[in-house]
Amino acid sequence: LKMHQKQAIAGCVLAAAASCIARTTASSLASTFLLAPRPSDPNGRPAHRPLAPRLLSRRARAREPQVMHMSTKSNKNGDEGSLFHSINAVTLVTHDMVASCAFYSKLGLHITYGGPEAAFTTFSAHEPVRQDNNVLHVNLFQSAKYIPPADGKWNQWGRCIFFVGDVDALHSTLLEKGVVAPEPQDAAWGERYFHLVDPNGHQLSFATPIYDHPRWHN
């Protein structure tokens, strides 16, 4: 055979050999990544099998976008679709922790953290606080930079509203303890309430719902 014919035959042989090697290698990789038995974790559950980089890339491109949905199962109070139970606490600034502690003690709340000499104090509706009564807290933090309005005026920042069992009884108790508060009145929105201002100008509202009012029957 002529030289160029020998070279052509040798090239064909090399190409066939390379093709065979490539097919063998691909088959081996497929067996390793796709057909090998899954290892188990210490609890006996199948562990995730590693994927070849090219296969992983293809699957990642084909995967549909994942959307996280928040649960809408009912909470312990039976409210469908709500993750919220209630506001558990309000946190208010005070310029004078001693005066603030004296005031909130007169309201009938209990110190469950801190105290008159502390920089941070928590008043709670119940003492001791447990899982079944962890419902209402007022936190106070002391700041020398905060200056309350003069003459016991409202600082205009907002209002905290507390529902109580008998707003008239609370009002009478506060008067006996020397706390000045206006007479309770019936509101157009279905509550009997009165407002007062704490020693640092925070406005507090105490209310008892009037449940035969149309507001509560919509």
Cα–Cα distance for residue pair 148/126, rounded to 1 Å: 28
* Beta-carbon contacts of residue 141 (< 8 Å; ≥ 6 apart): 91, 92, 93, 94, 119, 120, 121
What per-residue confidence (pLDDT) applies to 59? 44
Q: For each of the chain's 218 residues, which pLDDT tens digit applies?
A: 445 555 555 555 555 555 555 555 545 544 444 444 444 444 444 444 444 444 444 444 444 333 333 333 444 555 567 888 888 999 999 999 999 999 999 999 999 999 999 999 999 999 999 999 999 999 999 999 999 998 889 998 889 999 999 999 999 999 999 999 999 999 999 999 999 999 999 999 999 999 999 999 87
DSSP state of 125: S
CA angle 83-88-91, nearest 5°?
130
Report the run of H or E that residue 97 belongs to, with start and end.
helix 97-106
Which residue do the tokens 């995730």 mark? 48
What per-residue confidence (pLDDT) applies to 20? 52
Q: What is the pLDDT of residues 74-113, one digit of tens each?
A: 445 555 678 888 889 999 999 999 999 999 999 999 999 9
Q: Within 13 Å and on the Cβ side, how many CA atoms surround 36?
A: 16
Q: How many CB atoms lie within 10 A of CB 108?
A: 13
Cα–Cα distance for residue pair 106/98, rounded to 1 Å: 13
Q: How far is CA 150 from CA 55, 133, 198, 200, in A?
A: 72, 37, 12, 9
What per-residue confidence (pLDDT) applies to 150? 87
Residue 106: both structure tokens together: 């007169």
Cα–Cα distance for residue pair 162/195, rounded to 1 Å: 10
The SS3 assignment for 144 reads coil
